Amino acid sequence: MTPQEGKRAPAFTLLDQHEQKVRLSALTGQRVLVYFYPRADTPGCTTQACGLRDIGDRIGDTVVIGVSPDQPAKLKKFDDKYDLGFTLVSDLDHAIAEKYGVWVEKKSYGKTYMGVQRSAFLVGADGRIERAWPKISPKDTPTELLAALESA
């Protein structure tokens, strides 16, 4: 079940692209965009990540954290290749994606499989979800984030 706006964001501690632990709770007092994407360095995921990179100077002290089931080494290559400049964390066992309700059944070319549904959550300074965007498109992620920050 996807967490609802106004509810506390599910906590997590995951390894980032530098193999350092990242705790959502350590960012209390700051807004955090937690966005989930299926796989690093694929067309949609690259569009989404580069879009967020490109608005970095317009989001103030909002922290951006991308979550995928990729290994930290793959996340580092993705970050280095596109000079993303924000945190990417590895959810290898998809436990956090499950907590956020974004580990779902998907279909492609007649095959059914489990995978990450591209989604984003703006977590407020109090640790509660301010905005939730289930099934967000790669191009809309930066636009929706900017709109949410401007309306607050």
Q: What is the pLDDT of residue 1?
A: 77
Q: For residue 73, what is the enclosing H or E element?
A: helix 72-82
Q: What is the pLDDT of residue 74?
A: 98
Mean pLDDT of 119-147: 97
**Residue found under tokens 């964390």:** 89
The per-residue pLDDT for range 102-116, each reduced to its tens digit, is 999 999 899 999 999
Token duo for residue 127: 């640790």
Q: Which of 24, 32, 45, 64 is catalytic?
A: 45
Regarding the domain delimited by 13-146, which CATH topology (the fold level of the hierarchy) does it fall under? Answer: Glutaredoxin (3.40.30)
Find the helix packing angle between 140-151 and 43-54, rounded to 10°: 30
50 counts as catalytic:
no
The residue extents of the domains of the chain are: 13-146
The structure's pTM equals 0.96
